[in-house]
Copies of this chain bind each other. A is one copy, B any other.
């Protein structure tokens, strides 16, 4: 069976690696260069997008900011999962909020802003501080404003107005203002929905971000009550979208109450730990779902943490001497801050996981790998 992935980065690569043993052959379409490539060897294929679409039995995406003409072609083929509506929702905060409201899933109060009157009303009714984000562009901390005091309102509005004015009739710009709610931590839920509507959900993951980018995830330490809340939100969103494949939902944990931060209609960085922490990873389950195969086990196999490798040219080889540490390298050329790979650490229990993370922290500099030492200490003391 042939799978085409829109996007040719590490997510396509790991989908391909997971699909190969299932007899799924994967090619990736790089929208930036308009090329079809093998996402593992990066070897280029002499194949147009149209030819790749007819070659494929199923089509999926590794990111949500896909050029609309490409998305339309894929949708027309009738083979595209999770579907254009899900991709559009993941790529547009206004659609995302509308979906959450419809599915009755809690998130922070918000206002949609396309003109100054909306902004004035938002400041008035939601109150400060506000988190303000462009609806369609920007992720990982780019394209955002924070309004903390009224004194800054005019300056922020002038930047917002410039962004709104840059929109066109075909691609209108919009902005979403959300009440900034102090939260205790960020968690996410990853799950998978099959073509027949069956849902399987992984254990909740606790995530640490540094400068808006995920740096560390841990799975295997959540209570049943909070897992149940996340699962309810997952099922409501996945069913509302008639979703097929892996879907990720990021939450703020506000004193035990989960508020949705963001939806990602794809395999997700905060689910990379499933490669070693579960019998069937998010990548394999996504491939199973879009290929119409039975879904795999999503239960926790072992407590597992994931550490992102950002901008480094290699994973230090001595890391592999630590027991049950697994390297995942993406084969990309190094750039500052770029996601180059990740390290999974597994253990029989959380205490042992802390000990292994402590060994890891001795090798990895805190500046490049923030939070590893502190997380290790917290797990060992617990």
Where the two chains meet, the residues of A that have a C-beta atom closer than 8 Å to any C-beta of B are: 13, 17, 20-23, 25, 38, 40-41, 43, 276, 279-280, 288, 293-294, 296-297, 301-302, 314-315, 317-318, 320-321, 323-324, 326-329, 331, 341, 346
- A331 and B40 CA atoms in complex are apart in Å by 16
Q: Identify A279's interface contact among B17, B315, B317, B324, CB under 8 A.
A: B324
Q: Is the CB of A23 within 8 A of B327?
A: yes
Task: Determine how many copies of this chain the complex contains.
Answer: 2
Q: Is the CB of A294 within 8 A of B317?
A: yes
Residues of B contacting A279 in the complex (Cβ-Cβ under 8 angstroms): 276, 323-324, 326, 346
Q: 22 A-B pairs, CB-CB below 8 angstroms?
A: A13-B20, A17-B17, A20-B40, A21-B327, A21-B329, A21-B341, A22-B320, A22-B327, A23-B315, A25-B41, A25-B331, A38-B41, A38-B43, A41-B41, A41-B43, A43-B43, A276-B279, A288-B320, A294-B321, A297-B323, A297-B324, A301-B302
Q: Is the CB of A294 within 8 A of B314?
A: no
* Chain B residue at minimum C-beta to C-beta distance from A322: B294
Residues of B contacting A41 in the complex (Cβ-Cβ under 8 angstroms): 25, 38, 40-41, 43
- A40 and B21 CA atoms in complex are apart in Å by 10
Residues of B contacting A276 in the complex (Cβ-Cβ under 8 angstroms): 279
Q: Is the CB of A318 within 8 A of B346?
A: no
Q: Identify A328's interface contact among B21, B43, B317, B326, CB under 8 A.
A: B21
* Chain B residue at minimum C-beta to C-beta distance from A284: B326
Q: Identify A329's interface contact among B23, B38, B320, B329, CB under 8 A.
A: B23
- A170 and B301 CA atoms in complex are apart in Å by 55
- A168 and B286 CA atoms in complex are apart in Å by 56
* Chain B residue at minimum C-beta to C-beta distance from A342: B21
* Chain B residue at minimum C-beta to C-beta distance from A328: B21
Q: Is the CB of B23 within 8 A of A331?
A: yes
Q: Identify A293's interface contact among B17, B38, B320, CB under 8 A.
A: B320
Q: Is the CB of A296 within 8 A of B320?
A: yes
From A23, A38, A321, residue with most partner B Cβ within 10 Å:
A23
The smallest beta-carbon distance between A186 and chain B, in angstroms, is: 26
Residues of B contacting A326 in the complex (Cβ-Cβ under 8 angstroms): 21, 279-280
The smallest beta-carbon distance between A168 and chain B, in angstroms, is: 41
- A13 and B329 CA atoms in complex are apart in Å by 18
- A341 and B22 CA atoms in complex are apart in Å by 10
